[in-house]
Amino acid sequence: MNAYLERTIENVKSKYANEPEFVQTVEEVLSSLEPVIEKHPEYENADLLGRMVEPERMFTFRVAWMADDGSWHTNTGYRCQFNGAIGPYKGGLRFQKNVYPGIIKFLGFEQIFKNSLTGLPIGGGKGGSDFDPAGKSDAEIMRFCQSYMQALYRYIGPDVDVPAGDMGVGAREIGYLFGEYRRLKGTFENGVLTGKGFSYGGSRIRPEATGYGAVYYLENVLKHEGESIKDKTIACAGFGNVTWGICKKAFQLGAKVVTLSGPDGYVYDPEGVATEEKVNYLLEMRDSGRNRVQDYADKFPGTTFYPGEKPWGVKVDICMPSAMQNDVHMEHAKKIAEAGVKYYIEVANMPTTNDALKYLMDCDNMIVAPSKAVNAGGVATSALEMSQNSERLVWSAEEVDKQLKQIMDTIYNMSVEAAEEYGLGYNLVAGANIAGFQRVADAMMAQGVF
Ligand code: 2IT
């Protein structure tokens, strides 16, 4: 391997041994970049890679909040402003018990390249808290969000850093966060957050965008193989916002999502999540806060619940891991290959361990697409929301959807072309890393060393 590349990876490995998710994404991205680094020896002198793996700024803050019983609790808030070379920092907030710097930094690092791939002017950032939303009342969520924003508001803004949702942060939380920002600043700067409700500056299609975008990307992959999405079976994981969007679009296009998963196991629905009632039920499941996928099997006859198991190994045409990081390990990858799956389309951020991803990419007849390209429709539509906010305009659903589709087609084409340019053949994983990297690298080189 290129010595500079290898040294950068080794430095991150030894420095951040206690942040394995961050090390994992750095290894995955950087190891794709060998031909680019070989072609650009000037990067080493400017320590471009060393700077790229170091966040421009990252901070923690105290978030104290009162529970309904009057007791006080304290959590850690995070924001990582990873790379601002091509635009204001942009990326979601994740509220989940397991959040720690390694999770925020892996998500932030992925976000840099994903945002770059959209072709829009957005830098990479991520934030969140180790707050556990499970079982919290609406009033508790509101007080937590208000306290969180009291600590964060000075450091964000429509031209500075624009947070959005991620796991545990949906339209409700964004509403409370925005209300507190507006109250503190005394200005209506709705471009400071995306994923807002439609009544105060949210974009049409933003809730659906990540799932829709993933399906638009998938259609490009299928087209390359001379196939169409109609009648295809898809294994999804999770049942949250992203999986809901995939189910909705797949249903519209005549494909069937036959599995969903949760912390309790997975469900198999041979008829697919392919009625309006079923698609809408996913929203109910999410809003119930029960975090149980078994509820789906209990509600719809003819479906089976497999407690404690994952859907990897079910015979389908397409796997779309859309739940969370490191959901698919080597043992699952082998089962996916054995089941004769032809398309492995990552959707969640880093859903595959690095060894499992390499295994799947090396399988004959398996096409692998990386999440940072496939799920970029979400943040791309956030950038469209920012555009509408700054222009004080509202675009129709058709207009946003049309732009989303165009962006996904462009991301796919740019990835294909970048891999080909460096002699890597049809490699969507390396292509996305290279295309995403190149734009940020050019901007950083142009702006001087800091
Ligand atoms: O992972 C992601 O891209 C997101 N959670 C969405 C970020 C955004 O700013 O819309």
Mutate to test the pocket of ligand 1, among 81, 106, 110, 111 (most ligand atoms within 8 A of CB): 111
Are 241 and 285 in contact by the 8 Å Cβ rule? The answer is: no
Q: What is the DSSP letter of 18?
A: T
Ramachandran bin of 157, using left for φ above 0, alpha for ψ from -120 to 50, beta for the remaining angles: left
Q: Which two tokens stand for residue 144?
A: 């937590």
Q: How far is the centre of ligand 1, averaged over its atoms, from the C-alpha of 274 (Å)? A: 26
- Whether the CB of 108 sits within 6 Å of ligand 1: no
Mutate to test the pocket of ligand 1, among 217, 379, 381, 385 (most ligand atoms within 8 A of CB): 379
Give the distance from CA 331 to its chain's centroid: 24
Kindly give, in sequence order, each residue whose CB lies less than 8 Å from that of residue 131, ignoring residues fewer than 6 positions away: 63, 75, 95, 97, 99, 144, 148, 168
Can you give the pTM of this predicted structure? 0.98
Q: How far is the centre of ligand 1, averaged over its atoms, from the C-alpha of 423 (Å)? A: 31
Tell me if residue 126 is catalytic: yes
Q: Digits of tens for pLDDT over the chain (450 positions)?
A: 999 999 999 999 999 999 999 999 999 999 999 999 999 999 999 999 999 999 999 999 999 999 999 999 999 999 999 999 999 999 999 999 999 999 999 999 999 999 999 999 999 999 999 999 999 999 999 999 999 999 999 999 999 999 999 999 999 999 999 999 999 999 999 999 999 999 999 999 999 999 999 999 999 999 999 999 999 999 999 999 999 999 999 999 999 999 999 999 999 999 999 999 999 999 999 999 899 999 999 999 999 999 999 999 999 999 999 999 999 999 999 999 999 999 999 999 999 999 999 999 999 999 999 999 999 999 999 999 999 999 999 999 999 999 999 999 999 999 999 999 999 999 999 999 999 999 999 999 999 999
Q: In the 3-class helix/strand/coil scheme, how is 183-207 assigned residue by residue?
A: HHHCCCCHHHCCCCCHHHCCCCCHH
- Whether the CB of 388 sits within 6 Å of ligand 1: no
- Whether the CB of 203 sits within 6 Å of ligand 1: no
Selected catalytic residue, list 90, 105, 114, 126: 126
Q: Strand order of the sheet with strand 123-129?
A: 57-66, 72-83, 123-129, 89-95, 161-165
CA-wise closest residue to 117 among 410, 318, 447: 410
Nearest Cα residue to atom 4 of ligand 1: 92
Residue 90 CA: nearest ligand 1 atom is 9
- Whether the CB of 75 sits within 6 Å of ligand 1: no
Q: What are phi and psi of 333, to 5 degrees?
A: -60, -45
- Whether the CB of 349 sits within 6 Å of ligand 1: yes
- Whether the CB of 379 sits within 6 Å of ligand 1: yes
